Amino acid sequence: MTPAQPHSSGRIDVHHHVLPPALLDALARHGVTDMAGGPVPRWSPQQSLDIMDLHGIGRAITSVSAPGVRFADEAAAQSLARACNDFSADMAVRHPGRFGSFAILPMPFPAAACAEAIHALDVQGADGIVLLGSVDGVFLGDPRFEELMAELDRRSAIVFIHPNLHPSSEILGLDMPGFLMEFLCDTTRAALNLILMGVLERHPRIRWILAHAGGFLPYAAWRLSLANLMPAFADRAPQGVLTYMRRFYFDTALSPSPFAMAALGQLVDHSHILFGSDFPFAPAPVTALQVNQIDTLPLWHMGERNAVYRANALSLFPRFATPRETPLAPDMHRSMTFGQRMRGAALRPMLGFVDRIRNR
């Protein structure tokens, strides 16, 4: 087993869940006994600290998992989101240097979500926001969330996208838990929708982290990039689908296999791969299995492995750095210039011709 490292310089876990008492109460009141096909895990802050100490995780950035805080009306979602975020902020204070947090928002209510994001980022000092890939059947990228996206862009916010179960996944009739495959579909659909609806082009300052190595996105990247040939997406994703895909950061949670990491490594720069455990939904033995898998992954040399465990995350979260560390600056992206847009416009007649040929 890998020896534990000092708390101040250990691994950084960007995919680590909390189950605040208010959330457990809401689950019980609404008769929710499982989460995406798995039982609601028993959890406490001390359990997180124990697993972190065991595996040399110096800091965990916590988040609420699916189904989020949408159980009743808007007011109830607002209240539950604030209670969960208060709990996470207090946990970070009680255990200094060990926890950060991604704040949960009362989605899919745009005005309430904006208000909670502002409070969490500006007042509570959250490290970012967690958004589910879809809520109430509505995917990220939907125009009704434009106000929220603009607010997050103004703050150069870090957004962790965690999957949810879309209603279409729940009626398939497949005899398997939703987290096994449908979660990956939700992440992939949300990421592609964000690209094709132009969110990444309009709001380039948002930094996005995709859970579970991005679902199927790396494996299907070339096929999805064929959207470049469709005139409908020429204005929304003018820099090309693969360009936007490479802006995402990806965590390793439940995905540190040679096959998944090989595909991911062909799509994005190594600096965009971050360590994630998915604890406690990935229980202690599975967390140990993931760390061992990364430690023995033949694709990465020691420097690359250590970067995934810590240095890559420091570029997004420089406040976690020790005095001896100098985090790399995060990638900065811009919308297209006027000249680039004009060159793109010149290609549209050709794209239209290709589209007509395709539809014959």
pTM of the complete model: 0.91
pLDDT tens per residue, range 16-59: 999 999 999 999 999 998 888 889 999 999 999 999 999 999 99
pLDDT tens per residue, range 174-221: 999 999 999 999 999 999 999 999 999 999 999 999 999 999 999 999
Tokens of 63: 């988040």
C-beta separation of 104 from 20 below 8 A: no
Q: How far apart are CA 181 and CA 213, in angstroms?
A: 13
Partners of 35 in beta bridges: 38
C-beta separation of 17 from 65 below 8 A: yes
C-beta separation of 244 from 237 below 8 A: yes
Pairing of strands 99-104, 128-132: parallel
Residue 141, sorted as left (phi over 0), alpha (psi -120 to 50) or beta, turns out to be: left
The length of the chain in residues reads 360
CATH architecture of 7-358: Alpha-Beta Barrel (3.20)
* DSSP, res 119: I
Query: What residue ranges do the domains of the chain occupy?
Result: 7-358
C-beta separation of 251 from 272 below 8 A: no
